[in-house]
Amino acid sequence: MSEPDRTGRRPSSLDIGRAQRALVQLAAMLAALAGAINAAGFLAFGHVFLASPEANATVLGTSLPGGFGITKFVGGMIFSFVGGVVLTTLITHWLGRYRRTIALVCTAIALAAAYLTFLSHLAIIPAVLIAMAMGSAHCTFERDDPDLQEAISPSTQVVRFGEALAGGRHHANYRQLGLHASFWLVFLIGGLAGAVAWITLDARAFAVAALVAALLAMRAWLIERDLFGA
């Protein structure tokens, strides 16, 4: 429920509707960022997906017979991702307002720190920070509609698209078809952008990612200001 601002004004239904539509756009932009991080991280650190823990579970399984070093690295990325989720959840737990903004601020800070440590020549440090950043990003919509919660999980979007196409989800609502297809597509486009960024910018690709996350945090603040009427 929306809350009045300091002047006692409650946001109108128009304000709330506009903010809800903007949240969908924010989720799409975050999906693109996750795709970019996955691609840049894959090229930077080897066969590891820093934004997709479900994919890393497969990598972990296939790397077990090959060598302990790879297994330890991939396992560390999974634990780092979970650590980012836990830390951000604890930070935002008591927040009624601006929790999405804070989650994205945590994402931006961790990505900026990863870029600053990239020149340390210790690959595990920036990789840990990037995985934690993406764990934070997954907390952005934790109290929202499930469609937004799942926005940056491409495998889930494919499943949801198939369900909607078959009429098993929201009675084959065309809005649902477009929503899930668009989330998957922007993840793919983000992946292409992330690969190009790493090839052309090297480690600076993560500085760009940090800037994008900061801009998304600003956008989230504007949206939540409309939602809460503050």
d(CA 24, CA 122): 37
pLDDT value, residue 108: 98
Distance, CA of 31 to CA of 39 (rounded, Å): 12
Cα dihedral sign for 183, 184, 185, 190?
positive
Q: Distance (Å, rounded) from C-alpha 19 to C-alpha 216?
A: 14
Domain parsing of the chain, residue ranges: 13-224
User: What CATH number does domain 13-224 carry, 1.20.1250, 2.60.40, 3.30.1360, 1.10.8?
Assistant: 1.20.1250
Tell me whether residue 61 is exposed, middle or buried, using C-beta atoms within 10 angstroms of its C-beta: 0 to 12, 13 to 18, 19 or more.
Answer: exposed
3-state helix, strand, coil in the chain (%, to 5): 75, 0, 25
pLDDT, residue 7, reads 44
pLDDT of residue 24: 94
pLDDT of residue 230: 53
Name every residue whose Cβ is closer than 8 Å to that of residue 230 and which is 6 or more positions away in sequence.
3, 5, 6, 97
pTM of the model: 0.88
DSSP 8-state symbol, 203: T
Rg of the chain taking only CA atoms, in angstroms: 18
pLDDT of residue 4: 47
Q: How many CB atoms lie within 10 A of CB 56?
A: 21
Distance CA 22, CA 16 (A): 10
Could you tell me the mean pLDDT of each successive run of 10 residues in the chain, 230 residues long? 48 71 95 96 90 86 74 91 96 85 97 91 88 96 89 90 73 74 95 97 96 97 80
CB neighbourhood size of 230 (10 A): 15
Tokens at 3, concatenated: 């809350």
